[in-house]
Structures are given as structure tokens and as C-alpha cells.
Structure 1
């Protein structure tokens, strides 16, 4: 069974809602998830135009659906990369994210502000890597 160990060395700056290093061991499957936008199954953005919270929640719901498709859950996510069109949304991101991940052992994380995402109107995108025990 795969085991995840979360490391935040005292010799590194304190982390703010992420883990510096996530170590995985044991027989496992590594699954890479494409970037998820805050779009519903009908191809529309969640919430009203400009509603970051709704888009972020939909991103996590889309990621949850992808995890479920491979018999995994958020407890298996070891790394996320987040793309923001406005880094001022970071506190809202944590508010949404914390409903999905174990805040005592959050995944390793990178947050980047970019000028634009692949779809006009997109405010946020998240991609992930999960390590899941072998079936």
C-alpha cells in the first residue's frame, strides 16, 4: 500500500497552506490530471461572470470527478499547480480548497499568476498529481 509522508523541515520557511515535500512509498499508481477549469458538464462557467469562488469550487468538483474515475480521492493528491489570473483570489482559493483537502497534510503546491487561461472568462485552473495504492 502506498504511504505518503508530508515534510515541512524546520530549516525552511514556514509554509502557508501547502507541504514543502511529499514523499510516497510502496506499490502505487501515479496519475496525472490535466488542468481543470471551473466549467460545468454543459461547457459553461460555474456562477455568474467573474465569480471566482464558484469557478474554483467547480474546478475542485471536476478534479473530484476525475479522481473518482480512477478510484482515487483527494487524500491521494500529492501535488497541485494552480493558475490564477489575479493572485488576489488566493484567500478565496484556500477557502474552497480547504473543503476538499486535509489541511493538516495538504499537497505540495505551486501558485502562479498568468495573464490569461485557455478559455475567455476563466479565472482559475488547477492541475494535480495523485499517487494511489496498487489495486
Structure 2
């Protein structure tokens, strides 16, 4: 668990979110991870037509990108989900819940889009993290 971050699930006057914090802040180095899609290390799409398989690959890619900056999912303050169909959100949330501390979830936004960079892609996820000063990349 990351202790350099503060999570506010429900600020005064705001209904609590389900599976996300409304506000997260911390001190340290900001890490921005570009939107990740379900590409393997060779650039091939993983899980064509399968939102759960694509979501698992996306979170695998996010983990690798975070590690490159010395971050983990415990350091993530914000996730943005871009899905071609909101019906894919349960699969995305299930994959997310395998990697984040669900008692201290990051802030999140979900957006349905008409298309992603390739037609077989169903989702893309970007992340922002705050890494404690002094922690180095792996």
C-alpha cells in the first residue's frame, strides 16, 4: 500500500463512487503513461473480440510502463478508460481490480468512443501516477 497518496472516496456533498476515488493526491514525481491497448511485445493484438483478454493485456502493459518509471499500481492516482462499448466496462473493472488496491482505488473516468487506432481494439487505458521522491525506475 502506498502511503504517499491520499484518497477521498466521497468529498462532502458528493455521492460515493463505486470502485474509484473522487480525489487522489500525493507528493513526489508525476508519471504519465500513454494510453495502452491490447498489443503484445511484438505489436500484435491480443484477444481480438474478447474484452476480458484485451483488458488483461492492457493492464499488463500498464504495469510494465509504470515499472519503467519506478512506479506500481499503488502509485496510480488516475486511470482513464476509453471503450468502444460501455458493455466492456465490467471486463475492464475486473482486470483493474486484479492490480489495484480496491480499498484505495485511483480516481477514474470512463468514456465510450466510436473507434480506437485499430478496429479490432476494444479499449485503451491511460494512467497517471505519483512516485515518492527517491524511488528509481526498475
Same fold by TM-score greater than 0.5? yes
Give the equivalent residue in structure 1 for 2:74: 75
> How well do the aligned residues superpose, as a CA RMSD in angstroms?
1.4
Separation in 1 of the partners of 2:52 and 2:12?
33
> Is the CA contact 1:76–1:130 (under 8 Å) kept in the aligned structure 2?
yes
Q: Gaps (5+ residues) in structure 1?
A: none
Name the SS for the 1:11 alignment partner: coil
> Is the CA contact 1:83–1:111 (under 8 Å) kept in the aligned structure 2?
yes
Separation in 2 of the partners of 1:2 and 1:54?
31
Give the equivalent residue in structure 2 for 1:106: 105
Separation in 1 of the partners of 2:55 and 2:114?
17
Q: TM-score, normalised on structure 1? A: 0.93
Aligned residues: 132
Deviation at 1:13, TM superposition (A): 1.2
Q: Write out per-residue CA displacement over residues 58-78 of structure 1, whole angstroms, 9 at most, x where no aligned residue.
A: 000000001111111000000
Name the SS for the 2:19 alignment partner: coil
**Aligned pairs (5 A) from 1:106-125:** 106-125=105-124
1:5 paired with 2:37, answer: no
Q: Write out per-residue CA displacement over residues 26-60 of structure 1, whole angstroms, 9 at most, x where no aligned residue.
A: xx11011100001101111112x201111111000
4+ long deviations beyond 3 Å = none
Give the equivalent residue in structure 1 for 2:59: 60
Q: Gaps (5+ residues) in structure 2?
A: none
Give the equivalent residue in structure 2 for 1:45: 45
